[in-house]
Amino acid sequence: MANPLFDTLFGAHAGRATPFLHLADGRTITHDGFLRRTAQFANLIAGMDVAPGDRLAAQVAKSPDALALYAACVQAGVVFLPLNTAYTPSEISYFVENSGAALFVCDPAKAGALTPVAHAAGTRLETLNDRLGGSLGEEANHQPETFATVARDEGDLAAFLYTSGTTGRSKGAMLTQGNLLSNAQVLTDHWHFTADDVLLHALPIFHTHGLFVATNIMALSGGAMIFLPGFDLDAMIDLMPEATAMMGVPTFYTRLLDDPRFTRELTAHMRLFVSGSAPLLADTHVQFEARTGHRILERYGMTETNMNTSNPYDGDRRAGTVGFPLPGVEVKVTDPATGETVPPGDIGQIEVRGPNVFKGYWQMPDKTAAELRADGFFITGDLGKFDDDGYLQIVGRNKDLIISGGYNIYPKEIEMLLDDQPGVRESAVVGVPHPDFGEAVVAVIVPDGDAAPDIDALRAACARDMARYKQPKRYEIRAELPRNTMGKVQKNVLRDDYADAFAPA
């Protein structure tokens, strides 16, 4: 029986002794070796009564086994839910409970803190680390290396990724086999990936960019990945001559440019650099091309759709734009009030339709109906415009989402925590330009009384209860927040006020 996503991405490489994963410790895992490990995990999770359509939540470090766990879920028909490794137990509890995960996999070092989370959700807890260990890794060693792939079709769910607006609960975006497969096929062709490519992979794999873009493309093309645990500048420079392509967030490129070892000679073997997950500064484009002779390719995607647009592989890659709609994907810019398409040059909300667009939000029919139109167009929440040549430019967001280092940050979550702290009357959180991270979090605090709140105590509270990338990098004290005549906080004013907060001296 067919399983389109598994058969196309993974099963097609059965028996191939070709390299798939080159690891930092010098080991290489072949396509066949990866599939045998995948089958061991598929046998194990199926034996734990995790049935097709059930959810498996995983908060584990990037490793070959972590990637094999994803492939095993696809092979067994289980819905894969990757979770950011920086999330705290209080953050994890919502995702595990809301998804109804039948199995939750975490790092052994975090099992003590996360066991109560699993128990509260009525979920089985297993562990996995990056050295063939943890309870799941050890038990998988004793499983058969073949597995009867579970039949699925393109409409069946393959993954959940949680996203959110600036208010309300996080939303589980339901991604089907067809969503993931169609995007991988289009991008592999559009960016000219083949079995001869070697991708320098330093992205996390709990995120669309590292998992459903980078990994799926390389699985489909039959190429190999230099599979690094994370971004390490020395490793990136040492290994770049062995690669043909790299995908990264703007932070990767700014840090490479800061190192004199990053030269035209070092990148001579490369054919493609792709950037996404956050806007790339025009100055970075200019510096990168001057240094290497390569022009970075920017594209535009999101959790609910994977990739929507891309600058051309052959042709003018324009700084400050995200290129054209991908083949099979429709993109329009509309008037938020009427839904009518606006002329080129006019700013409006970006809407997307295509086989890449998600199925809806898990157990949130009202939210799904509000953002996913009956005709299939998804209201992205981003604001943009087309220029006269058809290039799409993202000019802002109609929500107050912050993107820092490629990660989405939702101000309301931080504001709620800060507002609960002693000495704080109210707070407003905004993102402002940052030369390394794209955007950085600034927290504006209104004191409760004459005395200013203890900033060190605020930092400690944030460090205790939320992932590091969400924590404000700067705190500002103001007597009051700017408001319009209706009493709404004017975050645009705050962004303007602190726009130069992280500018070079």
- pLDDT tens digits along 79-96: 999 999 988 898 899 999
Identify the DSSP state of 11: G
Distances (CA, A) of 116 to 49, 55, 57, 170: 21, 19, 15, 21
Is the predicted pLDDT of residue 165 greater than 80, yes or no? no
Amino acid at 17: A
Dihedral (CA of 466, 471, 475, 481) sign:
negative
Beta carbons of 269 and 219 less than 8 angstroms apart:
no
Is the predicted pLDDT of residue 455 greater than 90, yes or no? yes
Identify the DSSP state of 86: T
Write down the pLDDT at residue 485. 47
Burial of 27 (0-12, 13-18, 19+ CB in 10 A): exposed
Give the mean pLDDT of 12-41. Answer: 96
Burial of 294 (0-12, 13-18, 19+ CB in 10 A): middle
CATH T-level topology, domain 1-18+31-146: Rossmann fold (3.40.50)
Cα distance between residue 34 and residue 335, in whole Å:
48
What ranges in 378-439 are assigned the alpha helix state H? 411-419
Give me the residues paired with residue 378 across strands: 352, 372
* Mean pLDDT computed over every residue of the chain: 92
Give the mean pLDDT of 125-136. Answer: 87
Paired tokens of 186: 């289009």
CA neighbor of 357 nearest in space, from 344, 336, 373, 340: 373
Going from N- to C-terminal start, the domains of the chain cover: 1-18+31-146, 402-497
Cα distance between residue 95 and residue 22, in whole Å:
32
Paired tokens of 355: 């086989």
Task: Just give the CATH number of 402-497.
Answer: 3.30.300.30
CA neighbor of 276 nearest in space, from 244, 308, 316, 243: 308
Write down the pLDDT at residue 120. 94
Pairing type for strands 474-477 and 438-447 reads parallel
The count of C-alpha atoms lying within 13 angstroms of the C-alpha of 185, restricted to the half-sphere facing its C-beta, is 14
Pairing type for strands 171-176 and 124-127 reads unpaired
* 172: Cβ contacts below 8 Å, ≥ 6 apart: 81, 95, 98, 99, 160, 161, 162, 361, 362, 363, 364
Write down the pLDDT at residue 486. 42
CA neighbor of 410 nearest in space, from 248, 230, 170, 228: 170
Q: What are phi and psi of 112, to 5 degrees?
A: -60, -45
Is the predicted pLDDT of residue 141 greater than 90, yes or no? yes
Tally DSSP H helices, then E strands, for the chain. Answer: 16, 25
Write down the pLDDT at residue 166. 40
Is the predicted pLDDT of residue 397 greater than 70, yes or no? no
- Torsion angle of the four alpha carbons 116, 206, 248, 31, in this order, in degrees rounded to the nearest 10: 130
Q: How confident is the model at residue 383 (pLDDT cuts 50, 70, 90)?
A: confident
Paired tokens of 408: 């989405």
Q: Which range has the worst mean pLDDT, 144-148, 272-276, 396-400, 438-442?
A: 396-400
Beta carbons of 284 and 262 less than 8 angstroms apart:
no
Q: Which range has the worst mean pLDDT, 83-97, 204-218, 396-410, 448-462?
A: 396-410
